[in-house]
């Protein structure tokens, strides 16, 4: 294959790749085959996530093994004419490993294909996005948000876009404080959330907030491909008990930078148990699992803080709500669902 060194990322202004295509095979697939429009596709590059390919079939599948399940992320990244072949090859591979496949964060396009292949498909949550050309913080609806952002800057916050390699120590310190505030037994999630470092780092952007020259919070943004290309507000962490409005202020600076570059979309990523809509379910969905998703949104804060995550995203008045799906082999299963969280390191 041709090298990718110094080739600007398609549809993402202001970013230059320095990574060879042969070093990151999944990158080819998520950039070339964007028909499914998955805003989280870049997470396929996370460390510890495996890539499945099949000889003679273009495209790739990202997955992690958890027990006797291969937890597949984001569907199949392949040309439309090869999608079914690659999915069949992957399920054959899983059987050869004595494993079942459970697929998470499928887009509607993926979900319909999986249902056709005999999977039971249910909505698991949604991702959220803001159209940047029309975005403004003016108006009464954003008054409270503007006040929080102003307060953070009055408290001495300075926000900069930085090179992550020069801030490794500060990021580690912020991460340690953030996780420590979660209490004993808290786990740092992975797989379905972003990371700092690894093969994908040259493609990400990092905005850091500092007070008195001490970094106190950061937001990492991952590239999004397809017709709704732009950036995804990905990993975000802060030192607890710092200035109110810290993360909102960091994001506001990033938004202004993206708008100046002509970036069309800012995605806020996937939040499970949110954006649930009965009209978005596919024929054959499991009603018991549908009930469970609503129950986990209302009462499942110990499993995942969906309500607080949604509240943050809604502050920015999302333009678009994108339903996302989970696909079970044969029928919906709590056992399979638990293995998705196991793959994420939740327990």
User: What's the whole-number average pLDDT of the chain?
Assistant: 89
Determine the average pLDDT of the residues in 159-173: 95
* Predicted local distance difference test score (pLDDT) of residue 24: 67
More confident residue, 21 or 67: 67
* Predicted local distance difference test score (pLDDT) of residue 255: 98
pLDDT digits (tens, 9 = 90+) for 190-235: 788 899 998 899 999 999 999 999 999 999 999 999 889 999 999 9
CA distance 190 to 141: 34
At 122, give phi and psi (nearest 5°).
-130, 150
Residue 19 has pLDDT above 60, yes or no: no
> Using 50, 70 and 90 to split pLDDT, how confident is the model at 286?
very high
* Predicted local distance difference test score (pLDDT) of residue 87: 97
| Local structure of 271: helix, strand or coil | strand
pLDDT digits (tens, 9 = 90+) for 74-124: 999 999 999 999 999 999 999 999 999 999 999 999 999 999 999 999 999
> Using 50, 70 and 90 to split pLDDT, how confident is the model at 303?
confident
CA distance 37 to 225: 7
Most confident of 33-37, 178-182, 298-302: 298-302
Determine the average pLDDT of the residues in 119-132: 98
Residue 264 has pLDDT above 70, yes or no: yes
Residue 258 has pLDDT above 80, yes or no: yes
Q: Three-state SS across 24-88?
A: CHHHHHHHHCCCCCCCCHHHHHCCCCEEEEECCEEEEEEEEEECCEEEEEEEEECCHHHHHHHHH
* Predicted local distance difference test score (pLDDT) of residue 234: 94
> Do the Cβ atoms of 45 and 34 come closer than 8 Å?
no
In the chain the domains, ranked by start, together with CATH numbers, are: 21-128+270-303+321-343 (3.40.630), 130-268 (3.40.630.30)
> Using 50, 70 and 90 to split pLDDT, how confident is the model at 1?
very low
Question: Which residues make Cβ contacts (< 8 Å) with residue 51, sequence separation at least 6?
Answer: 25, 26, 44, 60, 61, 62
> Using 50, 70 and 90 to split pLDDT, how confident is the model at 2?
very low
CA distance 278 to 304: 22
* Predicted local distance difference test score (pLDDT) of residue 96: 97
Cα–Cα distances (Å) from 326 to 119, 156, 269, in that order, read 9, 44, 16
Burial of 81 (0-12, 13-18, 19+ CB in 10 A): exposed
* Predicted local distance difference test score (pLDDT) of residue 347: 59
More confident residue, 35 or 333: 333
Residue 17 has pLDDT above 70, yes or no: no
Which tokens sit at 58? 């273009």
* Predicted local distance difference test score (pLDDT) of residue 20: 36
Question: Pick from 225, 282, 227, 265: which is nearest to 109 by CA?
Answer: 282
> Using 50, 70 and 90 to split pLDDT, how confident is the model at 22?
very low
> Using 50, 70 and 90 to split pLDDT, how confident is the model at 187?
low
∠ CA 283-101-291, rounded to 5°: 45
């Amino acid at each position: 294959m041709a090298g990718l060194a110094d080739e600007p990322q398609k549809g993402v202004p202001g970013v230059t790749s320095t990574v060879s295509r042969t070093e990151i095979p999944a990158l080819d697939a998520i950039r070339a085959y964007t028909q499914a429009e998955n805003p989280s596709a870049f997470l396929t590059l996370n460390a510890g996530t495996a890539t499945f390919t099949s000889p003679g079939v273009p495209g790739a599948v990202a997955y992690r093994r958890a027990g006797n399940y291969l937890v597949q992320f984001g569907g199949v990244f392949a040309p439309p004419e090869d999608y079914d072949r690659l999915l069949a090859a992957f399920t054959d591979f899983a059987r050869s490993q004595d494993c079942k496949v459970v697929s998470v964060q499928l887009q509607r396009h993926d979900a319909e294909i999986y249902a056709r292949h005999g999977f039971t498909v249910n909505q698991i949550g949604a991702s959220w996005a803001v159209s940047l050309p029309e975005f403004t913080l003016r108006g009464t609806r954003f008054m409270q948000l503007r006040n929080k952002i102003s307060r953070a800057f009055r408290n001495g916050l300075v926000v900069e876009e930085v090179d992550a390699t020069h801030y490794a120590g500060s990021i580690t310190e912020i991460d340690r404080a953030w996780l420590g505030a979660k209490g004993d037994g808290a786990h740092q999630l992975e797989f379905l959330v972003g990371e700092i470092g690894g093969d994908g780092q040259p493609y990400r952007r990092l905005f850091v907030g500092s007070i008195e020259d001490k970094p106190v919070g950061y937001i990492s943004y991952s590239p999004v491909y397809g017709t709704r290309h732009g950036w995804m507000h990905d990993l975000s962490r802060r030192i607890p008990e710092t200035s109110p409005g810290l993360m909102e202020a960091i994001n506001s600076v990033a938004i202004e930078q993206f708008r100046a570059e002509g970036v069309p979309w800012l995605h806020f990523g996937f939040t499970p148990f949110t954006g649930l809509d009965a009209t978005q379910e596919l024929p054959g969905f499991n009603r018991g699992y549908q009930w469970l998703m609503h129950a986990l949104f209302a009462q499942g804060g110990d499993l995942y803080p969906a309500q607080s995550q949604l509240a943050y995203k809604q502050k920015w008045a999302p333009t678009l709500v994108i339903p996302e799906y989970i696909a079970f082999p044969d029928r919906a299963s709590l056992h399979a669902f638990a293995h998705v969280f196991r793959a994420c390191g939740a327990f």
